[in-house]
Structure 1
Amino acid sequence: MANKITEVTKESWVLSTFPEWGTYLNEEIEATVVKPGTVSIWWLGCTGIWLKSEGGTNILCDLWCGTGKRTHGTGKMVKGHQMMRMSGALKQQPNLRTQPFVIDPFEVKNVDALVVTHIHSDHLDINTAAAVNQNCPDAKFIGPQEVVNIWLKWGVPADKTIVVHPGDEVEIGDVRLLALEAFDRTVLVTEPNPEVILKGKMPQDMNELAVNYLFQTSGGNVYHAGDSHYSNMFAKHGNEHTIDVCLGAYGENPRGITDKVTSVDMLRMAEALNAKVVIPVHYDIWANFMADPKEITEIWKFKKDRLNYQFKPFIWQVGGKFTFPDDKDRLEFNFDRGFDDVFTVDNDTPFPSFL
């Protein structure tokens, strides 16, 4: 930390400020002992989560450590950009990152697997891959074929990678990871080969680009839908598997775009999956997709008795922890306000005690 203004540089400011939470959350996760019969997850922003089982297995999923727009540039989108191809719009999208970095990827420890749902860069992150590869030599890198292809291009050793397709299972410590079909129509018109779409050819196979995951643990099963849009196929997954907690990519879609699941369909997703808890994610990260998750709670209250909903919504905060089943009846996360031990030492404020 610089003590004189002459010692301050842009580099010193960056290193002393980012990530904004430093190692606070890293330390919390490392110190957490998951009780028998439970599973804990932390929200890292976007769809990134850290899952920790009662056996001490640590799984990192979709952690993104990048940024959105950093300059106005020309004011126009780059040719072939996914939003341009989806909507026909030319104006640059104001997709600014709106959340702080709550975890330091280069201080991660004891990660057993880095799991990625699909190829988009706000889920498949080179910084996360580098940090896990450097700090956790035994960690596995698990994802669909095109995710693994990108990891290999970045230099991740091939023997650390595992390619999964829908129906594949991988044992990670005391967690069983099941890959399921993804329903991300956006991914079909985006990377890794936009020329396929621009030349009017058929899109690539979804199963090579994206998967959803079911993390099966002794404390409950967590379903991660990646960037899946709403699909009737959610009912297939709900019929075939026990799903306790489901996470979906929620947001308000800009005009001319259908990319995120909106409030009503978040509830439909939970109902179709036969989940006990539905948690919206992703709405937090992009300025042009920001949404109010309380809308989900209010619509749930309006419909729950008439439609006999058997699930509850849970509104998270980035950096917050959710433990199933302990938190299954909570509707909202709030950070610890502290001062539980107030007045256990003498108060030395210079005012009379009666004030």
Structure 2
Amino acid sequence: MTNRNEARSQRTGHELMEEIRTTVVPYGTAAIWFLGQESVVVKGGDTTIYIDPYYSSGEGTSSRAFPPPLAPQDITQASFVLITHEHSDHLDPDTLSVIAEQCPESVFTAPVCCHNVMLEVRIPEARIRPALTDEWVDYGSFRLKAIPAAHEELDEQEGQGHRYVGYLLDMNGVMIYHAGDTVVYPGLLERLQEQAVDIGMVPINGADAFRRSKGIVGNMGFREAGDLAYEAGFDLTIPLHYDLFPMNSEKPGYFIDYCYENYPYMRNKVMARTERLIYVKGS
């Protein structure tokens, strides 16, 4: 007999897309779907935004701990796509090329150093926007500000801006922060404290010398992530970047335990793969 959790894990990419398409998101709310690593879908009103969509299942992806929750071909609705940096688990050419073809109105924002790869997979230049840091850009249905990220160091390139970024989304009356890949660097907390962040999504996988020796660049660990969320005043914190590669993972329960012991009134949520979260501002 198949239990409810097994049935949920077996739903198709088409069923997931249908849920995203039909979910009604009134003003003052936001819908979020977690699709592994740092890939999330955010919906507010009629706007659907993909952040770091990584759904390839071909060559070079065999080290994934679990198969993609949907295929790129399943994506039939995307208003915007935000890319935080050029690493393949964040900028996935095979996924982006399909989104560009199947969602002809979609717009792509990424650091300038990513643009050549995006052009190579036939994303029209007119649909690509630079992720200019510390500047609000108004797209009508939402405002967007790229925030510098340090993976593990800040890397600002002349004429191209920051190589790594996170994003602030002011969308549907809800302020959302997606950190991308970053450690806590001087100035990050102050940037976040300037905003009233409702939902903060932060990596927790950490870094160490042994992973660096294998070329694995790290992020903040679960303790830093909890401290940052508390000091920045996030209303709800969602941990990211802990589940996809066994060599670069973390147990999200460590993050929950740390926050429970140190910040018992801080709200946190570990999301199941493909789970939908409906956030209601002020609830």
- Asked whether the equivalents of residues 202 and 240 of structure 2 are also in contact (C-alpha less than 8 Å), the reply is yes
Tell me how far 1:68 sits from its aligned partner. Answer: 9.4
Is 1:48 the equivalent of 2:39?
A: yes
1:267 maps to which of 226, 230, 248: 226
C-alpha contact 1:184 1:229 (8 A) present in aligned 2: yes
Within the candidate set 56, 66, 69, 1:66 is matched to: 56
Find the partner of 1:312 among 267, 273, 276: 267
The RMSD of aligned alpha carbons is 2.6
Q: CA deviation at 1:167?
A: 2.0
Q: Do the aligned residues in 2 keep the contact of 1:68 with 1:97 (CA within 8 Å)?
A: no
- Are 2:251 and 1:292 aligned? yes
Q: Is the 8 A contact 2:229 2:237 kept in 1?
A: yes
**SS state at 2:109 partner:** strand
Local SS of the residue matching 1:148: helix
Q: TM-score, normalised by structure 1?
A: 0.69
Q: Which of 235, 245, 249 matches 2:199?
A: 245
**1:278 matches 2:237:** yes
Are 1:107 and 2:66 matched, yes or no?
no
The aligned amino acid for 1:37 is G
Secondary structure at 2:95 match in 1: helix
Could you list the runs of 5+ residues in structure 2 that have no partner in the other structure? 1-9
**1:233 maps onto 2:224 in alignment:** no
Which structure carries more strand by proportion? 2
Identity score, percent: 25
Residues 29 and 176 of structure 1: CA distance in aligned 2, closer, same or farther (over 3 Å): same
Structure 1 pair 30/295, CA: closer, same or farther in 2 (3 Å)?
same
- Distance in 1 of aligned mates of 2:261 and 2:107: 44
SS in structure 1 at match of 2:219: coil
| Cα contact 2:200–2:237 (8 A) shared by 1 | yes
Superposition deviation, residue 278 in structure 1: 1.3
AA at the equivalent of 1:100: P
**Structure 2 counterpart of 1:303, which letter?**
N
Task: State the Cα distance separating 1:69 from its structure 2 match.
Answer: 8.6
AA aligned opposite 1:277? L
* Partners of 1:113 and 1:172 within 8 A in 2: no
> What secondary structure, in the 3-state scheme, does the structure 2 residue paired with 1:313 have?
coil
> In the comparison of the two structures, how many residue pairs are matched?
268
Q: Cα deviation per residue 1:253-294 (whole Å; 9 max; x = unaligned)? A: 455336032111111120232211111111011111222111
Cα displacement string for residues 282-325 of structure 1 (whole angstroms, at most 9, x for unaligned residues): 101111122211111111121125xxx6x322111111112223
**8 Å CA contact 1:49, 1:63 repeated in 2:** yes
**TM-score, scaled to structure 2:** 0.85
Q: Per the alignment, in what secondary structure is the counterpart of residue 214 of structure 1? A: strand
Q: Give 3-state SS (helix, strand or coil) of 2:202's partner.
A: strand
CA distance in structure 2 between the partners assigned to 1:70 and 1:62 by the alignment: 17
Matching residue of 2:147: 180
Question: Structure 2 CA distance, aligned partners of 1:68 and 1:291?
Answer: 25
Contact kept, 8 Å, 2:152 with 2:219, in 1: the verdict is no
Change in Cα spacing, 1:187 to 1:320, as seen in structure 2 (3 Å) is farther
Corresponding residue SS for 1:312: coil
Report the counterpart of residue 47 of structure 2 in structure 1.
Answer: 57
Tell me the amino acid that sits aligned with residue 55 of structure 2. C
Structure 1: tracts of 5 or more residues without a match? 1-18, 72-94, 189-202, 330-355
